[in-house]
A and B are shown apart, each in its own frame.
Chain A
Amino acid sequence: MIMEITVEVNGSSYTRSVEPRLLLVHFLRDELGLTGTHWGCDTSNCGTCVVWLDDVPVKSCTVLAVMADGHSVRTVEGLEGADGLDPVQQGFMACHGLQCGFCTPGMLMTARWLIDHNPAPSEADIREAISGQLCRCTGYENIVRSVRWAAEHEAGLRERTVEDAGTEVQA
C-alpha cells in the first residue's frame, strides 16, 4: 500500500507517496535529503533523531511519516534564519558542545525547545531536558554550558532590544 502525504518541513510543503510503515526519520533523510537528522538506535533511547513535530520535540525514529501528514516538522536545517545562526547553534560552537557532531542536531532541537519554554534554565533543567538523548563524546558538560550560553545570549539580546527601544523613544 502506498499513501500520499503532505508535510510541511522547515516552512516548505512536501507531498510524497510513501509506504505507511516508513519512519519519519527515513522520510526526512531518504525522501527529502535532509540528512542533518540522524538515526542511532531502534528503541527511542539515543535521541539523535529528535525533530519538532508541531512545535514539540519527538524522536523521529518512532514516528511514522504518515503520522506527520498535514503537520509541520522542524529539523536542524531549519534553525538558521535569514539573520544568521540560531543562538543554540552559536552556543554549541562557542562552548565546544560537540565533538563527532552526530548527536548535535537532536541536542540542538531540544535545546531550542527548552529555551523557548524556559528562557533561564538551570543546570538541572538542562540536564533533565536532554536526559532522553545520548552523547558519547562530551560527557554532557559542554552541552550544558552551550545551552546556558544560548539562554544567556538570548536574554542579553532581549535586554539590548529593550534598551535600544528605550533609546529610540527618548530620541
Chain B
Amino acid sequence: MTTAPVGHGTMLRKEDARFIRGRGTYVDDVTLPGMLYGAMLRSPYAHARIASIDISAARAHPKVRAVLTGDTLAGLNLAWMPTLSGDVQAVLATDKVRFQGQEVAFVVAEDRYAARDALELIDVDYEPLPAVIDARQALAEDAPVIRDDLEGRTDNHIFDWETGDKAAADEVFATAEVVSKQDMLYPRVHPAPLETCGAVAHLDKVTGKLTVWTTTQAPHAHRTLYAIVAGLPEHKIRIISPDIGGGFGNKVGIYPGYVCAVVGSIVTGKPVKWMEDRSENLMSTSFARDYHMHGEIASTRDGKILGLRVQVLADHGAFNGTAQPTKFPAGFFGVFTGSYDLTAAHCSVTGVYTNKAPGGVAYACSFRITEAVYLVERLVDVLAFDLGMDPAELRRKNLLRPEQFPYPSRTGWEYDSGDYPRALETALDLAGYAGLRAEQREKRERGELMGIGISFFTEAVGAGPRKHMDILGLGMADGAELRVHPTGKAVLRLSCQSQGQGHETTFAQLVAEQLGIPPDDVDVVHGDTDQTPFGLGTYGSRSTPVSGAVTVMVARKVRERARIVASAMLEVSPDDLEWEKGRWFVRGDQASGRTIQEIALAAHSDLELPEDVEGHLDATCVYNPPNLTYPFGAYVCVVDVDAGTGQVKVRRFVAVDDCGVRINPMIVEGQIHGGLADGIGMALMQVMAFDEDGNHLGGSFMDYLLPTAKECPSWELGETVTPSPHHPIGAKGIGESATVGSPPAVVNAVIDALRPYGVRHADMPLTPAAVWSAVQGRPLRTDLAIT
C-alpha cells in the first residue's frame, strides 16, 4: 500500500474501512425503538379516476397502526406537494391516478410483512381512462387531458423553450452545401442505484423535532422543502443522509413515500421506516431522458460544420418534477453545440405531460447534457456518413481550437478552458485508430461486422452562479466550515453529500493540500443538516466545482489566520512571513518557522494577539461559483456485431478525460469506469418500454437489464489536464463525464459496424432485436411495445 500524500494524489479511501466490514449505515440499517414500517399501495392503471377507496379491512388488521389516503392528507393540506420544477405532484392520489405505480394509500404496521399484507386489504374502485403514452400523441386534439387538477388546463402542454439565434441558423441552412437531418430518441432510462429510496421519519413529540434519515443527495434542500411543504419550523427539522447506496440523480427529489413516512410518524407518534422495493423504484421514482429529438446539421461539402438546428419533444411524465435550475426548463440542453466551432445554432424544446412516472433529469446527466451530447455526436456521425468522410477526420476539422478559450458558445455559454485536439489525438493514439480501421477493412472483406465509434464531449458542471441558477428559489452556492483543534487536527463540515464519490477522502485531501497536514488528520462531516452549513447538495457533478472550491477557500482562510498568529509568535509583521506546506516562516530564515500544529496550539493559548484577531483558527465560507466548469473528453469504442443475432460485444473502450486538476486520480478513474459501464447499459441494454395501456414493461431487473462484468470490457483510460481558470485549484467536475460521453461512442460504433447494410441510424437501446431489425431495414421503436 502506498503512503498517503499530504494533499492531492492517489490515496486509498478512508470510508472503505467500514464498507468492507459490512459496517456502513444505509437508511434501511437504521432501526429505532418502537419503529413501525410503511408500505405503499400503487396504481395498477396508467390513467384512471378513483371512484372510492375502502380502507376498513386494512385498518382492522391486528398489526396495522394507520392507513393514509389522499383524503387523510388533504385534511393536513398535504395531498399535493410542490415539485422541483414549480409544478405540483400528488402525494397520495385523490381524484385520479396518472401513471402506473402512482401512490394511492400508505399503510403503517408493526413489521414489513404485515404492512405488505394490509395493502392487499385495501379496495380501490378505479374507472380506467384512455392513457397518453407516446409523447408524440400528447398534443393531439383528442388527447385526454392528464392534468385536469390544474385550473383551466385543456391540453398536455407544459412549456416551450428555445435558445440560440433562429434567424442566423436559418440563414446558414438556406445557403449550406450539405444539410443532414436525423430524428433520434434518447429513450427513457432509470438510474437504478442498488439501494432503493427510503426514509426513517421520527417526530419527537416532546421536543417537536422531526428527524428524517433519508436517501437524499441534497439534505439541506430537503430540509427547506419539508419546512415549506409541511409547515414545520426549519430549525425543528433534521435531515440525515447517512451512507447512500448510489444516487446518480435518483435521490435528488422528495418522493411521496418520504412525506408519508413523516405523516405516519406524526399520526402514530412512533418512528416509521419506509423502503421502496425495486419495482417501486423503477416504476415511480425519477427516470431520465425521454427526449424525442429532430436534429439538422449544415456543412460545406468538404466537411466544415456551419450550423445546427434542433427540435425536441420532451416527455416529462404526469407531473413536471424535473430537477434542474429554475431558469432552465430543458436543463442545460442548450449546450448542444458541443465541442465544435460553428456559425449559428438554434434549438426549441416543448415539454409535455404523459401518463408515465414524473422526472426527466436524473442518471448522471448533468442536467440534460447527456441528451445534448448524444444529439450532436450522432449528428456529426450522420454527417460523416453522408459526406463519406472518416468521423475522426470530420471532428478534427471542426473541434474548437485551444486559442478560442474562454469560448463564448453560440447559445450563450462560456467554456472556461480546453485543448480539444490534444484530447482527441491522445484517444486515437491510445486506440491505435489507423490499425483499427485496417482491421475493420479486413474483417469486412470476410463479412464480419466490426465497428469503431468516436465521441467527443464537452460537459458543463458545477451549478452554479447563484444569479443564474437556483432550485425553487434556493441559490446554488455551497457553504463549508473548517475547525482546527488546538493540536492541529481538523474537522471539515460540508453541505454536499457522498453517494460513493469518496468525499471523506478527497475533501480531507483538499484541506491537507492547503494546510500541509496529513489527510488522516482531517475528519469530514457531511449528510446531516444539524451538523453542516447550508448548500444545495451533490448532483450535476457539482461537489468538486462548488463544495471543493469552498473547501479550498475556507482552508486558505484558516491559513491566513494562522499567518497572523504566527506573526505574533515570531514577533514579526505578517508581511514578512512566507508559507511552505505546513508552516509559516520568516522570509530569509527557513529555521524560524512555526508549523500549523504549533500555530493552532498558540491560537488557543494565552499568546497575545493583535487587537482585531479573535483567536482560534476556525473559519466558515460560502462559495458562489463565477461560472460552470467545462470538463471534456474523447472516447473510442470498438464493437463486434453478430449479424445473425444482432448481438453486440464491446471489445474495447478507450476514454481520455480532461477534468482539470485531479485531486485523487484513483477516485477520478473510478468515477469514469462507472460512467462508461452506464454508457454500455444505456446504449445496448436498458429498456423501459410501455404498452398502449401504459403498463411499464421494465419494472424489474428481469426486464430492465443493467450491465454486468461480462458486458463490460477492461476500460483503457488516458488523460489530459487543462486546469479551470476560475476554480481555486483548477479542478472540474468528473462524476458524470463518462455517462454523458459514452453512449454516443457505443452507438456510433454499432452503426459503423452496420455500414455494409447501409444503416445510418438506429435508436438506443441497441438490443439484439433492435440491431437485427435495423439490419433488416425496419428500425424498432424501442420505447413502445405498441405494434
B446 sits at the interface (CB 8 A): no
Within the complex, which residue of A34, A42, A48, A141 is in contact with B700, where a contact is CB–CB below 8 Å? A42
A96, A132, A134 — most chain B CB neighbours (10 Å): A96
Distance, CA A72 to CA B31, complexed state (A): 26
Which stretch in A103-111, A114-122, A163-171 binds the other chain? A103-111
Q: Does B180 sit within 8 A of A, measured CB to CB?
A: no
Taking CB as reference atom, which chain A residue is nearest B30? A35
Q: Give 8 new A-B contacts, CB below 8 A, not counting A38-B28, A104-B20, A136-B678.
A: A36-B24, A76-B21, A101-B245, A102-B193, A130-B708, A136-B248, A136-B706, A139-B673
| CB-CB nearest in chain B for A85 | B20
What mask results when residues 89 to 106 of chain A are scored 1 for a CB within 8 Å of chain B, else 0? 100111010111111110
A142 touching B246 in the complex, CB below 8 Å, given contacts A36-B21, A96-B667, A134-B701: no
Asked if B246 contacts A42 (CB within 8 A), the reply is no
A131 and B22 within 8 A (CB):
no
Q: Quick one: closest A residue to B498, CB to CB?
A: A100
Residue B174 lies at the interface, judged by CB distance under 8 Å to chain A? no
**Residue A39, interface by CB 8 Å:** yes
Residues on B with beta carbons closer than 8 Å to the beta carbon of A140: 673, 677, 708-709, 712
Chain B CB within 10 Å — which of A36, A100, A132, A133 has the most? A100
Contact between chains at B26 and A102 (CB < 8 Å): yes
Does B206 interact with chain A (Cβ within 8 Å)? no
The residues in B between 665 and 682 inclusive whose CB is less than 8 angstroms from any CB of A are 666-667, 669-678
Is the Cβ of A46 less than 8 Å from the Cβ of B194? yes
Q: How many A-B residue pairs have CB under 8 A?
A: 174
Bitwise interface map of A from 21 to 40 toward B, beta carbon under 8 Å scored 1, else 0: 11000100110011111111
Given known A-B contacts A100-B499, A130-B709, A94 and B1 have beta carbons under 8 A apart = yes
A71 at the interface (CB under 8 A from B): no
12 contacts between A and B (CB under 8 A): A40-B195, A46-B278, A79-B21, A96-B669, A98-B500, A99-B501, A101-B243, A101-B245, A136-B674, A137-B674, A139-B674, A140-B673
CB-nearest residue of chain A to B673: A139
A93 in contact with B16 (CB, 8 Å): yes
CA distance A123 to B709 in the complex (A): 10
Asked if A135 CB lies within 8 Å of chain B CBs, one says yes
The answer to whether A94 and B673 touch (CB under 8 A), given A99-B502, A102-B194, is: no
Question: Across the interface, which residues of B come within 8 angstroms of A105, CB to CB?
Answer: 22
Residue of A nearest to B244 (CB): A100
A37 (CB) vs chain B CBs: closest residue: B22
Q: Once the chains bind, are A89 and B13 in contact (CB under 8 Å)? A: no
For A45, give its contact among B113, B195, B246, B702 (CB under 8 Å).
B702
Among residues of A, the one whose C-beta sits closest to the C-beta of B702 is: A43
* Cβ–Cβ < 8 Å partners of B706 in chain A: 134, 136
- A131-B706 Cα distance, complex, nearest whole Å: 11
Set of chain B residues within 8 Å of A103, measured between Cβ atoms = 194
The distance in angstroms between the C-alpha atoms of A43 and B703, with both chains bound, is 10
* A80 and B501 contacting across the interface, CB-CB below 8 Å: no
Say whether B328 faces chain A, with CB atoms less than 8 Å apart. no
- Kindly list chain B residues whose C-beta atoms are within 8 Å of the C-beta of A43: 278, 700-702
Find B500's partner among A30, A75, A80, A99 (CB 8 Å cutoff). Answer: A99
B192 contacts partner chain A, Cβ-Cβ < 8 Å:
yes
A170 to chain B, nearest CB (A): 31
The 3 closest A-B pairs by CB, nearest first: A36-B22, A100-B500, A101-B19
Assembly CA distance A137 to B192 (angstroms): 11
Q: Which residues of B contact A (CB under 8 A)?
A: 1, 12-13, 15-26, 28-29, 31, 112-113, 191-196, 243-246, 248, 277-279, 499-502, 666-667, 669-678, 700-702, 706, 708-710, 712, 714-715
Beyond A40-B196, A43-B702, A102-B194, whether A127 also contacts B670 by CB under 8 A is no
Chain B residues with Cβ below 8 Å from A22 are 113
- Contacts A94-B12, A128-B710, A139-B677 known; A39 to B20 CB distance under 8 Å? no
Scoring A residues 4 to 27 as 1 if CB is less than 8 Å from chain B, else 0, what string do you get? Answer: 000000000000000101100010
The answer to whether B193 and A136 have CB atoms under 8 Å apart is: yes
- How many angstroms from the CA of A35 to the CA of B242 in the assembled complex? 14
In the complex the two chains form, is B702's CB within 8 Å of A34's CB?
no
Given that A26-B112, A46-B194 are known contacts, is A138 also in contact with B673, CB under 8 Å in the complex?
Answer: yes
Bound Cα distance from A104 to B500, whole angstroms: 12
B590 → A minimal CB distance (Å): 37
B19 touches A139 (CB 8 A): no
Are B246 and A102 in contact, with the CB atoms below 8 A?
yes
Check A76 against B710 for contact (C-beta < 8 Å): no
Q: Which residue of A lies closest to B499 (CB)?
A: A100
Distance in angstroms between the alpha carbons of A45 and B700 in the assembled complex: 9
User: Are A141 and B673 in contact, CB atoms less than 8 angstroms apart?
Assistant: yes
Q: Are B677 and A45 in contact (CB under 8 A)?
A: no
Q: Which residues of A contact B708 (CB under 8 A)?
A: 130-134, 140
Chain A residues with CB below 8 A from B22, complex form: 34-37, 75-77, 105
Q: For residue B205, give the distance in angstroms from its CB to the closest CB of chain A.
A: 26
Known A-B contacts A26-B112, A93-B16, A102-B245; A77 and B674 likewise in contact (beta carbons under 8 Å): no
Distance to closest chain B CB from A26 (angstroms): 7
Does residue A143 face the partner (Cβ distance < 8 Å to B)?
yes
Query: Are A93 and B244 CB-contacts (below 8 A) given A43-B278, A136-B706, A138-B674?
Result: no
Contact A45 B701 (CB under 8 A): yes
A93 and B12 contacting across the interface, CB-CB below 8 Å: yes
Closest residue of A by beta carbon distance from B24: A101
Distance between Cα atoms of A50 and B115 in the complex (Å) = 25
Which residues of A are found within 8 Å of B26, using beta-carbon distances? 35, 38, 102
Q: Which of A38, A80, A137 contacts B670 (CB 8 A)?
A: A137
Contact A131 B709 (CB under 8 A): yes
Chain A contacts with B in 53-75, Cβ cutoff 8 A? 75
B709, A144: Cβ atoms under 8 Å?
Answer: yes
A127 near B710: Cβ-Cβ < 8 Å: yes
Chain A residues with CB under 8 Å of B194's CB are: 38, 40, 46, 48, 100, 102-103, 134-136
Q: Does A157 contact B (CB under 8 A)?
A: no
CB-based nearest B residue for A136:
B246
Chain B residue contacts of A139, Cβ below 8 A: 672-678, 712, 715
Docked CA distance A108–B25 (Å): 18
Does A162 reach chain B (CB closer than 8 Å)?
no
CA distance A96 to B12 in the complex (A): 7
Mask, A139-160, CB within 8 Å of B = 1, is 1111110000000000000000
Query: Please, how many angstroms separate the alpha-carbon atoms of A44 and B420 in the complex?
Result: 44
What residues of A have a CB within 8 angstroms of the CB of B29 in the complex?
29, 35
| Contact indicator A92/B16 (Cβ below 8 Å) | yes
Query: Which chain A residue shows the least CB distance to B17?
Result: A93
Of A34, A38, A96, A127, the contact of B709 (CB 8 Å cutoff): A127
A101 to B500, CA, bound (A): 7
B246 near A89 (CB under 8 angstroms)? no
B19 nearest CB neighbor, chain A only: A101
- Minimal Cβ-Cβ distance residue in B for A99: B500
B288 CB, min distance to chain A CBs, angstroms: 14
- Chain A neighbourhood of B674, CB < 8 A: 99, 136-139
- Which residue in chain B gives the minimum CB-CB distance to A33? B31
